[in-house]
Each structure stands twice: as C-alpha cells, then as structure tokens.
Amino acid sequence: MTIAEVRQSAGLPEVMPAYLKALSYAKNDPELLVRLAHQFERTGEFEKALELVSQVDADSDHIHRARLVESRVLKRDKQMPQAKEILEKLVKELPEQEELRLEAVGDLALIHDREGDFDEAFRMMTSIKQVHLSRCASQKAASDFATQRFAVLADSLTDRDFTRWADELEDRAYEPTPALLTGFPRSGTTLMEQVLDAHPQIVSTEEKDLMAREILPSIHGKLSAEHSLLEVLDQISHATVEKKRKFVWSAFETLSGQSLGGMTHVDKNPAYNLLIPLYLRLFPETKLLIALRDPRDVLLSCYLRYLPLNPVSVTFLTLESTAHRYALDMTAWLKFSEMISNPWVEVRYEDMVGNMEVEARKICQTLGLEWHDDILRYREKLQHKQVTSPTYADVKKPIYKRSLNRWKNYEKHLEPQFETLAPFLEAYGYD
C-alpha cells in the first residue's frame, strides 16, 4: 500500500487494518501519523493513539496538532490535569487567530465548564466566536440565502402540497424504508441514532448532507434563484423523482457499505427540519423522528462548543442568532406536524436519558419494527465504531444526566433569549 492510498483511505474506520499495515510508511510522514492517531482517539484506542503522537518530532509542523490529539486522549482517559496543561501550553504558543488554537481554546473551555468555572468557560468560548465573527462573511451570506428560501417555503406550504406529493407514491416494497432523524443540533440526535443503529433491521447514516448538497442543486435545474423552492419542488417530473431516489439509495448503500434492501434506513441530520418538505417530495413515505430537548440547554450547547466555520455553524456564533434559528426550525416543524399524515414521533432527550428502553420502543413502533434487545446493547457496537458527530466522545459513555438543566449554570448569559424560546418551552412542556 502506498502513502497515497493510505491518505485516500484515511477517515474510514472500516479500513483501520490498512492503517496498521501502513505504519512503516507513516513513520516518515508526521501528518499521516497525526491523522491515524486522531482516528484511534475517536474509536477509543488510546494506547495506539498515544504511541503514534509520540513518534511526531518536536520540530515538525504537525507537532501542535499531535499535542491536541494527545490532550483529547488524556481527557477521555480521565487524566484531566495533564490534558489541561497541554491545552494551556498550546493556547500560549499558537497565534491568536490560528484555527488550531481556537480548537484548543474550545477544549479548554469545556474543561473549565466541567470544573464548575462557568464564567471562564463562557468567556473562552465567546473569544472563539469573536474571531469567527470577524471572518464569516461568505459563510453567513450562504447561510442567510438558504435559510430565507427555506423559511419562505415553510410559510407557503399547505397540507394539499404534502397530499399531492404523497398521491404520486408507487408501491416501494422492493426499496428500503426511509426515515429522517432531525430536530435541531445538540438535541440528542447522536445518542438516538447510535441506539437505533444497534437494531438489526436499521442502518443509519450520519450527517452526510446528501439532500442539501447533492439533490436540491440538481433538481433546481434551469430555474433561477428567483423561483421559489415550492415552484422547484412542484416542477419535478416523475422521471426525475425516480432518478433521484435511485441515486440516493445507491449513495446511502455506498456510504453504509451494505445493501439496504428490506432495511429501514435512518438518515440522521439534526439541522434538517427545514428540509422536511424536500424529503417528502422525493420520499413521501418517509417516517419522521424528531429529537427534542429543553430549548435553553440546546441554546447553550450549540454556543458552548468549538465548531469549524461553515454555513451551519455560523448560525451559532451568537446566542441571539442561535435562538432565532431554533425558533425558525421548530416553528416549521410545529406547522409540518399538523399538515402531514406520515408516521412521526417526538422524543425528548430528557426522557431518553431517563428511560432509554421506553423511548426506543416508542421509536420502533413508529418505524413499524419489532423490538430487539440488541438496542439495549448499543454501546457494544460503538466500541470500535467511528462517530462523526462533534459529540463522538460523549455518545460512547454510559448514559449520564450531567447535561440535564445545564443551562442554569449560564442563566445570566442566556436570559436575554428566553423570550424567543418561550413559545417552545410551553409547546414542549419545559416551562
């Protein structure tokens, strides 16, 4: 195996044995050493990760990334003082606006949060947001454009639109059963997805953004941006629907590495509330799983985390913009839920943590699946599985209640946004 082949395969946990075979190449490639160490850290193989970062020369351009990986291993291995020491050193050594430094500040802020130093955690996370705010113009423009178009779509849809699309549905017994797991980022979708993925009749795909990045641009065709999304969805021909469905299933089979025939496929995308109409246009039979969590905890959790700057994360650079985006997405769901006839279920994160089996059984019933005890053993499957969500480390831990009512530690910072969140606190019983 060549270094080029190893680089191409990096990021896919199922080829981890290939990584091991290629370590003789990696010894002379510090970038590859760090990338492999990062993979082992994500899959919980800490000794292998530490062995690899120890091989990165101190004068290498990649030594700081190696140290960041080392700090994450130590943190997950409950060696918090050592992890904190490494992070503090990185923050001092790296240029103020370098992205790697911002990652280190984000990790350090979460350690302060764990230690109960909430003001310092909030101050450090805000410093990251300020840097991103100074250079987010292109991402914000893209986010504002897309969000506005989907907001108009949500306002203009009626139940007749959903009914008309559903009437076009043919017998799909030979295809997988589609399910969309959404709600809002940081509402517990990662936990729910990993629990469901343990069911032998379920295959999940995690945050691949296929609909937004591939399908929507392709069906837009020659229509200009002046045409509404409702017009775009209405003009799709039957042949186009068939073509796009085949493409989607082929892509999901490639991503999952297995045939999906006879299976239920769960597409987990927590920021897809506004894309539900697109889903139901191509897959009118989609079953919907909506993750809920106390909106105040959602607000805090979206803000109190480093995320690379992109058209989704740009929304979370201020508490105000986060609260307004939450209100937009959840208002859309409240409207859609009254207009569609598809099976759907709302699952509160707090209930999932309190009694996972009860909630999982409720989801299985919505999906039309028999209960299977493998769901209760979902963590066994997670041991050597790579989770792509930013919360990959948390989801592999036993279920804990530390994240419940976390917002109370930051109430003075969050309070100005409570009026925006009030309708949803009432609607979902959190008031």
The upper half-sphere exposure of residue 318, i.e. CA atoms within 13 Å in the direction of its Cβ, equals 10
Q: What CATH code is carried by the domain that includes residue 236?
A: 3.40.50.300
Q: Return the C-alpha torsion angle 418, 423, 424, 430, nearest 10.
A: 70
pLDDT tens digit sequence for 14-49: 444 555 555 555 567 889 999 999 988 988 889 999
- Whether 244 and 120 map to the same domain: the answer is no
Number of domains in the chain: 2
- Whether 91 and 228 map to the same domain: the answer is no
Q: How far is CA 336 from the centre of its chain?
A: 22
- Whether 330 and 394 map to the same domain: the answer is yes
**What are the helix and strand counts (H, E) for the chain?**
25, 5
Characterize 76-96 residue by residue with b for buried, 16 or more Cβ atoms within 10 angstroms of its Cβ, and e for exposed. Answer: bbeeeeebbebbeebbeebee
- Whether 57 and 160 map to the same domain: the answer is no
The pTM score is 0.88
Single residue among 80, 109, 133 that ends a domain in this structure = 133
pLDDT tens digit sequence for 60-79: 999 999 999 999 999 999 99
β-strand pairing of 177-182 with 202-206: unpaired
Quote the pLDDT of residue 127.
97
Task: Provide the percentage of residues in the chain whose pLDDT is more than 90.
Answer: 74
Q: Return the DSSP state at 176.
A: P
Cβ(314)–Cβ(194) under 8 Å?
no
Quote the pLDDT of residue 159.
94
pLDDT tens digit sequence for 260-296: 999 999 999 999 999 999 999 999 999 999 999 999 9
- Whether 96 and 226 map to the same domain: the answer is no
- Whether 240 and 310 map to the same domain: the answer is yes
- Whether 42 and 169 map to the same domain: the answer is no
Taking the C-alpha atoms of residue 404 and residue 300, their distance in angstroms, rounded to an integer, is 11
* Domain of residue 110, residue span: 3-133
Q: Environment class of residue 185 by beta-carbon count within 10 Å: exposed (0-12), middle (13-18) or buried (19+)?
A: buried
Mean pLDDT within 154-170: 91
Quote the pLDDT of residue 285.
95
Single residue among 96, 114, 133 that ends a domain in this structure = 133
- Whether 267 and 396 map to the same domain: the answer is yes
- Whether 125 and 151 map to the same domain: the answer is no
Identify the residue whose tokens are 């036993």: 398
Q: What CATH code is carried by the domain that includes residue 72?
A: 1.25.40.10
Quote the pLDDT of residue 175.
87
The upper half-sphere exposure of residue 166, i.e. CA atoms within 13 Å in the direction of its Cβ, equals 14
- Whether 197 and 280 map to the same domain: the answer is yes
Query: Quick one: which of 360, 400, 402 has its CA closest to 377?
Result: 360
Single residue among 95, 117, 133 that ends a domain in this structure = 133
- Whether 242 and 147 map to the same domain: the answer is yes
Mean pLDDT within 138-142: 95
- Per-chain mean pLDDT for the chain: 88
Name the range with the highest mean pLDDT among 2-6, 231-235, 395-399: 231-235
Quote the pLDDT of residue 218.
87
Maximum Cα interatomic distance, the chain, rounded to a whole number of Å:
65
pLDDT surpassing 90 at residue 390:
no
Mean pLDDT within 357-366: 97
Strands (E), 22-157: none
- Whether 93 and 144 map to the same domain: the answer is no
